Structure 1
Amino acid sequence: MAKKSSPDAAANLQRRQWLKYASASAAVGTLAMGARQSHAALTKAAQGADGILDVAIIGAGLAGLTAARDLRQAGCESFLVLEARDRVGGRTLNYNIPGGFVSEVGGQWMGPGQTAVADLARELGVGTFPTYYDGNTVILGGAGRVTVDLKGTFGTDEAVGARLGRLSRDVPCGAPWTSSKVGELDKLSVGDWLARQDIKPEDQVAWNASSILSGGAAPAKMGLLHFLSMINSADCDYSQLDSIKHSAQETRFVGGSQILSIKMAEQLGDKVRLSTPVRQISGWDGDVVTLHTDHGEVRARTVVVAIHPALCHQMQFDPPLPDKRAALQRAWPAHSPARKTAMVYRRPFWRDKGMNGSIFQVNGPILWAFDNSPPAGEIGVINAFVENGMVPSERDAAMAMHKQLYAQAWGDDALSPIAFHDQDWSRVDPWTITCISAIPPGFWSAHGEALHPSCGKLIWSGTETANIWAGYMDGAVRSGHHGALRALNALRRA
């Protein structure tokens, strides 16, 4: 009878195996360091003698780069990150403004409970600072103007928010389709539920803005089950999702949110390949997967797919994916690309007037404008989420419209900006087909169970797959950690 090994002996054997693996992988990785090598040569070097990578990662956003960083820290050097864009960062993007500062035109905040992205920032040496909200918020309605101190909130009814928080306790944030009340809740939109709450007319604008900003769709199109799963991420406290103070919009990153991806990519060097879209994935059900890119084929034993589910639907799979996974990708909403503007002034003059830079507009193009100035207010920046269909597509016309609305809010000082940027994601970036997933009623009941399970050697990652804070930067980082862990475990089993 064979002698049973002790737990310590097994652990030591596993450590020796990993050290041997790490040493071999590191030796292979050194071949890819030549800066003058061609794209094909670099890829071949990273793949090693047999031409096969241990791990290929699709997507150089926060999820994919976090996964790559974890692989390297675990001793794995046989990997590549393939990014379709000519930059890293995914749905985070910095816009350079006068004075050497930046303003974010994509995702940008973190808040309480978002510890994964906070830890990443500390590890990368990226500082943080609070979002500015001191003073009065302006509410515009037609030619009318009202100012009110919302004290760091968006002005939604606290009692209604508390009801949502109680309901969210029964909706797991990472798997809302497993809720015991899925049959009841997934039939309703947020608008259906709000219609039963006797919402005051003056509060409707706040709820509409909250649903669009947090979920990507108006209340009538946002699934209640999905919205509750988002609140569940925020410790079942709606105010942590919907406000600035003690909420998901509380904290910003020095140097802009894209700096997190930029720093990770700098550390990874030649492991990140830009302008390399993956068009087809073959053999995902076998031992070696082939990725067909615009720069040739890449072969890998495991693939972490760290991109939006709707983008996955744009790739070809051979053989076809299982029916349930293919249906999820096909049905995933991809109609919320978002549009975000940045108006730059020599100084944040609105603060001198007792204003915090925030504007909400009733039935107008401005969903929410807010102070996005640098940490010390060295220069004044107002960012705004806008209704795409209500803003002119031509830049100068869009700028003129913004100036008039800001002048209505704060006076003629707003008519003299020094720079303006208009980021219409639907026009400038074919790889960001949606910024926030506007999940409709019934979606999770029909497709939820296909979100997480791997398909052969394909590991699904990206913020939409996160078990907490899905859709946020924190969720992206968490999904990257999880994707790397699953890839390492797959390699260990092999």
Structure 2
Amino acid sequence: MMDKKIAIIGGGLSGLYAAYLLEQQGITDYLLLEARDNLGGRIQSFTPHNTEASFDLGPAWFWPDIQPEFAQLINDFQLDSFAQYDTGNMLIERSLSEAPNEISGFVTEPTSMRLTQGMSGLIKTISEKLTNTDIHCSKQVTKLERQENKVIIHYHDSQNNTQQMATSDHVLLALPPRLAIEIIEFTPSLPETLTQQWQQTATWMAPHAKYIAVYERPFWREQQLSGSVRSTVGPMVEIHDASLSTETKHAALFGFIGIPAQQRKDIGEEQIKAYCQQQLVRLFGEQAAQPIAHMIKDWAQDAFTATTLDSQALSHSLAPPRSPINSTWSQHLTGIGSEWATEFPGYLAGATEAAELGVERYMALYEK
């Protein structure tokens, strides 16, 4: 049975950044387990056939004016970024019986920035900086068990269902609090108050679905349109230009789907894609009818993001306690998923902030 100083559960941004921070402190004796088949967590991308373009299915924006630490990280990693395209007019769709209204666009403040490579470029960059080889995908943790001064981590390989175990002094939970309670058995149980607080913490992205349509060129710009839309008709209630630069190659539009999660499941993905396609034609004309590729990512159907409690719209709340107090778990468990951040819970900047706080706590406990 593998024995490590520290175990990181989850290979999204917070988990990978925690691993990076540990290695910066000279600590390589850690194990990272990710349940998905790839690293990145809620940072996932869509690469159409025969292209190298990477379109964000999860979070895509950051705001340097209000998130300077995250912006500095992007700068330190030498990742290219650009401002969200919003030049031109915006469309307002209020009814199927009348054409959408065109109104003057507005520059968003603070400026929304995106990465030229997509946010998956950040995951790739951090991953490539790590030297530890004990970073494993397709490993789902099912149970954490406190014994003496260790935590026994029970997990299985999703490829062949092999049951495996490892031990560590400390566990960093790099997944949403609600999901941790849902999929991991804690022995002994976590304090009931903490369990309730974690269950009541909404998971960012979990109720949402995004649709992306990729085109040969951004024809809406030729119509002096920004690509931004607000619609009370739907299925997409908010649409933006998702092109990968301010230039014309790798053109795309993306929208947030306003249909509730259960209804989306009942309607089915192919039908919703057809509805989205019809909406883009209504808004932008027949040129929108022939995308190179299009895709839906329904986060509510993602077992490693959403639980049954996440079917409702997000309600923002204060970050829950990241560790049990007055419990046998107190010295051995710390939550570092983005929802545990104090300043930007749920956001990309929250993921790196929570990772920093978690690693600081670990260092204070063990590396005196």
TM range (shorter): 0.7 to 0.9
Distance between the aligned counterparts of 2:207 and 2:51, measured in 1?
Answer: 29
Q: CA deviation at 1:296?
A: 1.0
8 Å contact from structure 1 (residues 325, 451) kept in 2 = no
Paired position in structure 1 for 2:305 = 432
Alpha-carbon separation, structure 2, partners of 1:267 and 1:95: 23
Distance 1:57 1:437, change over 3 A: farther
Name the amino acid aligned to 1:465.
W
One-letter amino acid of the counterpart of residue 260, structure 1:
L
Segment of structure 1 superposing worse, 266-275 or 297-306: 266-275
Partner in structure 2 of residue 364 of structure 1? 234
Q: Determine helix, strand or coil for the equivalent of 1:147.
A: strand
Aligned match of 2:117:
255
Of Structure 1 and Structure 2, the greater helix share is in 1
- 5+ residue gaps, structure 2, are 157-162
Report the equivalent of 2:6.
Answer: 55
For 1:277, the aligned partner's letter is Q
2:254 counterpart residue number? 383
- Give the one of 360, 364, 367 matched to 1:489: 364
- Aligned partner of 2:339 in structure 1 is 464
Matched, 1:289 2:289: no
Q: Counterparts of 2:312 and 2:154 in 1: how far apart (Å)?
A: 27
1:316 aligned to 185, 200, 220, which one? 185
- Alpha-carbon spacing, 1:319–1:78, altered in 2? closer, same or farther (3 Å): same
Deviation at residue 439 of structure 1 after TM alignment: 5.7
Q: Which runs of 5+ in 1 are unaligned?
A: 1-39, 45-51, 153-243
Kindly, what percent of the aligned residue pairs are identical? 26
In structure 2, distance between residues paired with 1:492 and 1:276: 28
2:103 equivalent in structure 1: 148
DSSP-derived class of the 1:133 partner: coil
Q: What number of residue pairs does the alignment pair up?
A: 345
The whole-number CA distance in structure 1 between the counterparts of 2:315 and 2:293 is 37
Root mean square deviation of aligned Cα: 2.4
Query: Is the Cα contact below 8 Å between 2:321 and 2:340 reproduced in 1?
Result: no
Could you say if the C-alpha distance between residues 88 and 323 of structure 1 is closer, same or farther in structure 2, counting changes exceeding 3 Å? same
What is residue 270 of structure 1 aligned with on the other side? 133
Give me the whole-angstrom Cα distance separating, in 2, the residues matched to 1:398 and 1:302. Answer: 44
Q: Which structure features the higher share of strand residues?
A: 2
CA distances 1:383-426 after superposition (whole Å, capped 9, x unpaired): 11102346684444333322221122122211121111111122
1:103-252 to 2 correspondences below 5 Å:
103-111=55-63, 112-143=65-96, 144=98, 145-152=100-107, 244-247=108-111, 250-252=112-114
Between 429-438 and 299-308, report the one with greater CA deviation: 429-438
SS of 2:152's equivalent? strand
Aligned residues of 1:337 and 1:432 also touching (Cα < 8 A): no
Give 1:119 deviation, angstroms: 2.5
Shift of 1:452: 5.2
Indicate if the aligned counterparts of 2:17 and 2:352 stay in contact, CA closer than 8 A: yes
In 2, Cα distance between the equivalents of 1:259 and 1:426?
24
How far residue 54 of structure 1 moved from its aligned partner, in angstroms, is 1.0
For residues 341 and 406 of structure 1, what CA distance do their matches in structure 2 show?
A: 11
Does the Cα contact within 8 Å between 2:323 and 2:333 map onto a contact in 1? Answer: no
Q: TM-score, normalised by structure 1?
A: 0.65
Q: Give, in angstroms, the shift of residue 340 of structure 1.
A: 0.4
| 1:328 corresponds to | 197
Find the aligned partners of 1:327 and 1:421 in 2 and give their Cα distance.
36
1:122 Cα deviation after fit: 2.4
8 Å contact from structure 2 (residues 45, 57) kept in 1: yes
Contact 2:324 2:333 in 1 (8 A): no
Distance 2:146 2:185 in 1: 11
* Aligned residue number for residue 207 of structure 2: 337
C-alpha separation in 1, matches of 2:241 and 2:150:
50
Give the Å deviation of 1:450. 3.8
Label 1:436 to 1:69 Cα distance change in 2 as closer, same or farther (>3 A): farther
Deviation at 1:66, TM superposition (A): 0.8
Structure 1 pair 475/293, CA: closer, same or farther in 2 (3 Å)? same
| Structure-2 change in CA distance of 1:449 and 1:273 (3 Å) | closer
Q: State the match for 1:180 in structure 2.
A: none
For the 8 Å contact 1:116–1:477, the answer to whether it is kept is no
TM-score (norm 2): 0.87
Give the equivalent residue in structure 1 for 2:278.
404
Distance in 1 (alpha carbons) for counterparts of 2:16 and 2:188: 28
Q: Distance in 1 between matches of 2:168 and 2:358?
A: 15
Deviations 1:141-193 (A, max 9, x none): 122210112313xxxxxxxxxxxxxxxxxxxxxxxxxxxxxxxxxxxxxxxxx
TM-aligned CA distance change 1:436 to 1:305, over 3 Å? farther
Deviations 1:241-298 (A, max 9, x none): xxx3424xx10012111221222223325231111111001117x4211111115111
SS at match of 1:277: strand
Instruction: Write the distance in 2 (CA, Å) between the matches of 1:147 and 1:316.
Output: 53
